[in-house]
Each structure stands twice: as C-alpha cells, then as structure tokens.
Structure 1
Amino acid sequence: MTSLFLSRAATRMLAKPSVGCVRTISSTNVWQRAHPSGPDGQTGPLQVSPVHDTLNVAQDHPQPSRSRHSVRPPKQEPDFSEGLSSLEKAGRLFLFTEMARGLWMTLENFFRPPYTIQYPFEKGPVSPRFRGEHALRRYPTGEERCIACKLCEAICPALAITIESEPRMDGSRRTTRYDIDMTKCIYCGMCQEACPVDAIVETQTLEFATETREELFYNKEKLLANGDRAEAEIASNIYADHLMR
C-alpha cells in the first residue's frame, strides 16, 4: 500500500521537483528498482549536487545581509602627542594661569582711551558709499536730471517706486510723479545703479525718523529738496567712486 502511494506521488511531481522531494523519493525501494542507476552512471539513491545542499542550507538558515556601509573601519588609537603638555596642565590647575591671562587682558584694555561717542552730540565718520535717504538731483542749470526712463521703478525689488511721465514740447519726457514708499524700501541701491543719468541717489543722511507713517511717503518735491540740500556732498561722493562703477 505504501509503495503504491509513493508511486502515485512520484508521477504527480512537477518537472523540477524540490530537493527534499527528490531525496524522499530516491530513498524508497520502488524508486531504486525503477531506476537502478542514478545520473552519470551512479548506483543507489539519487545523489544531489553539493551546490544544492549549500543553497538549501542557505534557505533554511539565511545569513544577515552586510552592506559596505556596515563595515566598521579599524579603530584608531588616540594620538596623545598633540595638545597641552603636563607642565601646562599643571600650571592651569595649580597656578591659575588662565585667570592671570584674563586679568592681564582686562588691565591692558583698562588704560586704553575710550571709544565711546556721545551720540547725537558726537557723530562718527560715515562711508561715502553709505545708502541713506533718497534724493533727486538737478543739473547745474536747474533742470531735472530724471528722464522718466522708469528703470529704477522696474528694477526695484520692493516695488517702492512709482513714476508717471508726460512728453515735453521738444519731444523728451519729464516726470509728473515720482513717489518712493520709504516703508517698503530695503536700501539696496539698485535704483541708483540703474539710473543712466545719476538722477536718483541715496545720500549719507541716516537721521530721517518720523512720527507718522505718512511722512515716509516721499513725493517728487520732497526728493528734489533733499537733492538740492546735499548736492555738493552727493557730487563729491559720486566723483570719488566713479572708477568703481
């Protein structure tokens, strides 16, 4: 009865039976009588290749995967040759050399002249390239420099400049409106760099605080007044910086 069952099981196997099934069937008497010689002229039970045994063992007991990042580098011993010597460590610990060094620095700065400035009665120097309050300039004849090209309005990253213009009798253009919202301005100086006639500039004036926000909306008349008041200073700064522009 057992032999009949095993024979039926052998006929139902797939084209590539598993290694376990081959081992079980090849060890029975029925298989040995039906197949007296194994593969390659071998007699007795079917001999399975050692490669399959290795694969079977690997499937039954999988090894943990090791990536190249998991490999630890060899441990490096610390280099004690660098750093403070024993004498310096003892001096810091027992002689308080660090404290003496800090006291010496304090005494050295104690006898130096003070750098304090009594602002606003005393004021320090301001760089010629300082970007402060805006101004519109005129030519020596009194004519406005602005030609209403609107380059400053286009290049302003904060959209703080608004310009309106109209044609003149000779065909050129003049500005009828030139407003700057100083609450939006970031004082980047790009309007001054873009102007082809040096009409809009940023002066060295840094004290223009107001009590209301409305006073920080500069119109054309306010900007021209700033330019008339500081024209000499503006012209000297532009001339000193013309080689860098």
Structure 2
Amino acid sequence: MLIKRPPSYHKLFFFRGMLLGMTVTLKHFILNLLRIRKIPTIQYPEKKRERSARFKGKHILTKKLDGSIRCTSCLLCQTACPARCIKITPSEHPDPKVEKFPISFQIDLLRCVMCGYCEEACPVDAIRMGQEYEWADYSESSFIMDKEYLSNRPALQGGVISKVNS
C-alpha cells in the first residue's frame, strides 16, 4: 500500500536558491560579454602593475657610506620574525669600535610571510622590504638568501645606502 506524503517544502527552497544563484552567475557572464573592452586586463610581462609605496617584497640589507653592511647582529629582527625565517650568526668585529657584525645572515623566503616586523624591529635601519615581487625559480635552495645577495643583488644596482646614523 502506497502512502501519499505531503509535498516537502525544503526541496522547493533548495531549487529556488539554486536558481537564484545561477541567475546571478548568468547575469554577470552576459554583462561581461557585452562590455568586454572595459575589463581591466594587464598584459603582464610587457606591462607591469604599479605597486604602492607600502608594498612589501624581497628584503634588502642596507649599507653604510663606506660600503659595509649596516647590520650590528643585535638579533632583534630574528626575534621579531613570527615565521622564524631569519637566521643570523653574530661574531666579534676586528675593529674595536664596532661591537658585532654578522658572519652569516640568511632569510628563507619560502617561510617568510612578508609581515615587515623585521624592518620595524631593526634599530639601525639595516633591513628593509623592497619592491621586487618576481621570484620564480626551480629549486628550494635558491629561496634562501644570504647577506651578499640581500645587499648586492643586480636589481639593487650596487646596493642601498642607508644614511640613518651614518
């Protein structure tokens, strides 16, 4: 014996919601087809997108006026980094006027979250966030940047000299 059940309204609400969603999608699809010239497309390799001055890209180690690295190995940037991507090995400087300097300074860009805390924590303006954003490469080891690369890479054209407390 078959029992006739009353119509379930939750199925009707499901189909109504699905139809409304498809209507919105179809409306946007048709509108974009009609005004195709107004869609903002950037032809990327030939034309680069403008970035704001606050953009945080690859790190830069600044230099003093004499060309040496400004970093004093205070380890504040390493401590402030939430991703723990900065590794500094401090050592005594041969010059008695200078307390410490970094033997090695490495940043693992694959771990970095580009927050800029290292830049804010540095008391001597030794580390900055640059404007570079093209980082494509094939090996993981190429994303570990050492102090020579961070201060003298080709994009910097000879390095960035910081004039703070020179």
Normalising by structure 2, what TM-score?
0.69
Aligned residue number for residue 106 of structure 2? 179
| TM-fit CA distance, 1:174 | 0.9
Aligned residue number for residue 209 of structure 1? 136
Is 1:135 matched up with 2:43? Answer: no
**Does the CA-based 8 Å contact 1:167-1:174 persist in structure 2?**
yes
Aligned length: 134
**Does the CA-based 8 Å contact 1:192-1:202 persist in structure 2?**
yes
Which residue of 87, 99, 102 maps to 1:162?
A: 87
**Does the CA-based 8 Å contact 1:138-1:145 persist in structure 2?**
yes
User: In structure 2, do the counterparts of structure 1 residues 171 and 202 end up closer, same or farther at CA, with 3 Å as the change threshold?
Assistant: closer
Q: For residue 109 of structure 2, what is the amino acid of its counterpart?
A: M
Q: For residue 43 of structure 2, what is the amino acid of its counterpart?
A: Q
The equivalences for 1:32-181 within 5 A come to 106=31, 110=35, 113-168=38-93, 169-181=96-108
| TM-fit CA distance, 1:226 | 3.5
CA RMSD of aligned residues (A): 3.0
Instruction: Specify the SS of the correspondent of 1:221.
Output: helix
**Does the CA-based 8 Å contact 2:90-2:100 persist in structure 1?**
yes
| TM-fit CA distance, 1:233 | 8.2
- Aligned partners of 1:182 and 1:145: how far apart in 2? 21
Instruction: Specify the SS of the correspondent of 1:223.
Output: helix
User: In structure 2, do the counterparts of structure 1 residues 122 and 196 end up closer, same or farther at CA, with 3 Å as the change threshold?
Assistant: same
Is 1:193 matched up with 2:127? Answer: no
Structure ranking higher in helix proportion: 1
Q: For residue 157 of structure 1, what is the amino acid of its counterpart?
A: P
- Aligned partners of 2:107 and 2:99: how far apart in 1? 23
Query: Can you list the C-alpha shifts for 1:49-68, whole angstroms capped at 9, x where unaligned?
Result: xxxxxxxxxxxxxxxxxxxx
Instruction: Specify the SS of the correspondent of 1:186.
Output: coil
User: In structure 2, do the counterparts of structure 1 residues 230 and 189 end up closer, same or farther at CA, with 3 Å as the change threshold?
Assistant: farther
Structure (1 or 2) with the larger CA radius of gyration: 1
- Aligned partners of 2:158 and 2:130: how far apart in 1? 9
User: In structure 2, do the counterparts of structure 1 residues 162 and 146 end up closer, same or farther at CA, with 3 Å as the change threshold?
Assistant: same
User: In structure 2, do the counterparts of structure 1 residues 227 and 178 end up closer, same or farther at CA, with 3 Å as the change threshold?
Assistant: farther
Segments of structure 1 that go 5 or more residues without pairing to the other structure are 1-101, 236-245
- Aligned partners of 1:186 and 1:231: how far apart in 2? 26
Which residue of 146, 150, 166 maps to 1:223?
A: 150
Normalising by structure 1, what TM-score?
0.48
**Does the CA-based 8 Å contact 1:136-1:226 persist in structure 2?**
no
**Does the CA-based 8 Å contact 1:137-1:228 persist in structure 2?**
no
User: In structure 2, do the counterparts of structure 1 residues 223 and 232 end up closer, same or farther at CA, with 3 Å as the change threshold?
Assistant: closer
Instruction: Specify the SS of the correspondent of 1:170.
Output: coil
